[in-house]
Chains A and B, each alone.
Chain A
Amino acid sequence: DQQVKQNSPSLSVQEGRISILNCDYTNSMFDYFLWYKKYPAEGPTFLISISSIKDKNEDGRFTVFLNKSAKHLSLHIVPSQPGDSAVYFCAASYYQGGSEKLVFGKGTKLTVNP
């Protein structure tokens, strides 16, 4: 039962254009959402996050939008750069058993072409 879904396994965009990565979730108890970036042979690194009480968070070229009614969030990267090419994971957190736990999507491989 996939609670966090990234339905696009891959995305290819031209340098300078906008990249939009999507994520859907099913559990309304999630209280925080995060996006991670992962390069080959490295662990995921935190990119940007959003609390469940907000609908937008912006950090430089990266913006995350949250639509709670649709249980949908998206990551916008603009302008996209070749160095943004990586796998992006959407994750949601919930509190259980005395700690915050993360549920991940399967990831979307972004390729930004020069």
Chain B
Amino acid sequence: GAVVSQHPSRVICKSGTSVKIECRSLDFQATTMFWYRQFPKQSLMLMATSNEGSKATYEQGVEKDKFLINHASLTLSTLTVTSAHPEDSSFYICSAPPQLLPGSGLAAYLETQYFGPGTRLLVL
């Protein structure tokens, strides 16, 4: 089946450095990818929608200058946490719905959205 990969799976960095997380769709093209963040014992929270060839759209409260998103190809989206601080330590996970034929319907779109395994970020 379709697979979404993330790299790295975990990263430890010093406060003030930048960290790049990659999300790849391995056997399908994704014009849209979603980035989520999950703090301990909390739910997955949508941060932003990554759109191939255009600017990402960010959810309310998410700083676009801090979380830079680049969706340069149909199989790759990157999330860069700039000037990371300890409060950015979290679990970051991406998801990608495959491109479907027009008229496929809401169910098909949602049910075929594949999630990556996530990236654990620890900022010291």
Contact pattern, B 103-118, Cβ under 8 Å of A = 1, otherwise 0: 0001101111111111
CB distance from B109 to the nearest CB of A (A): 6
Q: Is the CB of A49 within 8 A of B46?
A: no
Within 8 A of B (CB), among A97-111: 97-107
Contact of A89 among B44, B106, B112 (CB under 8 A): B44
Bound CA–CA A99/B32 (angstroms)? 9
Q: What number of A residues sit within 8 Å (CB to CB) of B?
A: 28
Q: What number of B residues sit within 8 Å (CB to CB) of A?
A: 27
Contacts of A97 on B, CB cut-off 8 Å? 49, 57
Q: Is the CB of B49 within 8 A of A43?
A: no
Q: Is the CB of A41 within 8 A of B106?
A: no
How many A-B contacts are there with CB distance less than 8 Å? 63
Instruction: Name the prevailing secondary structure of the B interface residues.
Output: mixed
Contact of B41 among A51, A98, A101, A106 (CB under 8 A): A106
B4 close to chain A: CB less than 8 A: yes
Q: Is the CB of A43 within 8 A of B114?
A: yes
Sample of 10 A–B contacts (CB below 8 Å):
A4-B43, A9-B41, A36-B115, A43-B4, A43-B116, A51-B106, A93-B110, A104-B36, A106-B43, A107-B43
Q: Give 13 A-B pairs besides A4-B43, A41-B117 with Cβ atoms closer than 8 angstroms.
A: A43-B95, A43-B117, A46-B111, A89-B44, A97-B57, A98-B57, A99-B32, A99-B49, A100-B109, A100-B110, A102-B46, A104-B36, A107-B43
Which residues of B are interface residues toward A (Cβ below 8 A)?
Answer: 4, 9, 32, 34, 36, 41-46, 49, 57, 93, 95, 106-107, 109-118
Q: Which 6 A-B pairs have the closest CB atoms?
A: A43-B115, A104-B44, A104-B43, A106-B43, A44-B115, A43-B117
